[in-house]
Chain A
Amino acid sequence: MTRARPMPELDDQDARDLARIYVITGGRVGPSGRTTIDLVTLVGAMAAESAGRAPEHRAILRMCRTPLSAAELSAHLRLPFSATAVLIDDLLSAGLVITRAPRTQVLPDPELLQEVLRGLQRL
């Protein structure tokens, strides 16, 4: 007799959130980690709309007419970052968005840092 054990300390809201994320991403959120989307990967829409896509996909396309970071999309969609990254990956594969990965080297080149410094001094 195996009895389904209730998930511990998972309240209704948690369960609803997890279910929603599972449905939106087709269950692809997880440690498989094939995404290359960073928190500050910038996303720009290449198409205004795309009929037949999930509402979340269409929402991303609408929001990215002006390029936004993946973190901003996650905040506006109220989805965890990893789920948002999956959706961005979908749109990227479909050619509906372009992305620009952030600088990730340990220390950026002095020219870029100089530009940041000048920008901050002007603030």
Chain B
Amino acid sequence: MGFNGSEPSAPAPTPVPALATALKIAVVGPLGVGKTTLVTSVSEISPLTTEETMTREGARIDVLGHRSTKTTTTVAMDFGRISLGESIVLYLFGTPGQERFWFLWDGLVDGALGAVVLVDVRRLEESFDVLERLERRGSAFIVAANGFPEAPVYPVETLRQALDLPDGVPVLNFDARSRADCRRVLIALTEYLLALSRLPRADQDDQAAREQVRSSQG
């Protein structure tokens, strides 16, 4: 298991640390949908928070189309860690789905293994933008509906239609407070990625193209 390309020649003051393979998964969804709850349920550490301060001038940081004069905005992402054996560390990042936070995605969704889109069935419309954005980027994602006690539970096929999801994108009902359920969501994402990775290259491109057409029609 060759970990790192660092040369063993020069005697180091401390032993060269063995660095595992790090992977990240984005957990995306509107405020209050259960992103941090999911992260907390499966993480081996208490969730941590990393912040990014955006100070670029003229950046779009509001909702109503008025350009805000505020020159700085801070966005926090909660994240957790799951060590899978000795050699793989999986990081889960909860990130807000609203358009004004999309600048964060450059560092997160790019290079992520995949994304879990969390939806609340009582406000599905809040997830439309996120889904369209992910489809257009060609990012692999699954959809997990967090079952709030007071919310109705819909069959996944109903959710798929309501969200206009491409065939094949897994949709699950789950409870973000349940560790077993969260594990099931992560397994579903990994199985989906595995299936995608086994498609011949041309089919992967076809799928991206189909999704592009779909989102431009949207």
Chain A contacts to B: CB under 8 angstroms: 7-10, 14, 17-18, 21, 30-31, 38-42, 44-48, 64-67, 69, 71-72, 74-76, 79-82, 84, 98-100, 102-104, 106-110, 112-123
Whether B190 contacts A108 by the Cβ 8 Å rule is no
- Given A47-B13, A81-B50, A107-B196, 17 other A-B residues pairs in contact with their CB atoms under 8 A: A9-B68, A9-B71, A48-B13, A66-B17, A67-B19, A69-B89, A74-B50, A80-B52, A98-B17, A102-B22, A102-B24, A113-B190, A116-B84, A116-B113, A117-B187, A119-B88, A119-B90
A18 close to B204 (CB less than 8 A): no
Verify B21–A71 contact, CB threshold 8 A. Answer: no
Contacts between the two chains (Cβ within 8 Å), count: 169
Q: B110 — which chain A residues lie within 8 A by C-beta?
A: 104
Q: Report 18 cross-chain contacts, Cβ distance below 8 Å, ordered by A residue.
A: A9-B69, A9-B71, A10-B70, A17-B53, A44-B17, A46-B14, A46-B16, A64-B17, A65-B17, A69-B89, A71-B50, A74-B51, A98-B4, A100-B19, A100-B22, A102-B23, A110-B197, A116-B190
- Interface of B: prevailing SS: mixed
The smallest beta-carbon distance between B14 and chain A, in angstroms, is 6
Query: B: which residues have CB within 8 A of A?
Result: 3-4, 6, 12-14, 16-24, 42, 48-53, 55-56, 68-72, 74, 77, 79, 81-82, 84-85, 87-91, 93, 107-108, 110-111, 113, 138, 140, 183, 186-187, 190-191, 193-194, 196-198, 204
Residue of B13, B89, B111 near A46 (CB, 8 A) is: B13
Chain B residue numbers with a CB within 8 Å of A64 are: 17
Docked-complex contact A71 and B194, CB < 8 angstroms: no
| Known contacts A107-B193, A116-B190, A42 near B20 by CB under 8 Å | yes
Q: Which residue of B lies closest to A72 (CB)?
A: B48
Residues of chain B lying within 8 A (CB to CB) of residue A106: 138
Contact: B53 with A82, CB < 8 Å?
yes
Nearest-neighbour CB distance to chain B for A98, whole angstroms, equals 5
Q: Is the CB of A109 within 8 A of B197?
A: yes
For B50, list chain A residues within 8 Å (CB): 39, 71, 74-75, 80-81, 84
Closest to B185 in A: A120
Complex Cα spacing A108 to B81, Å: 19
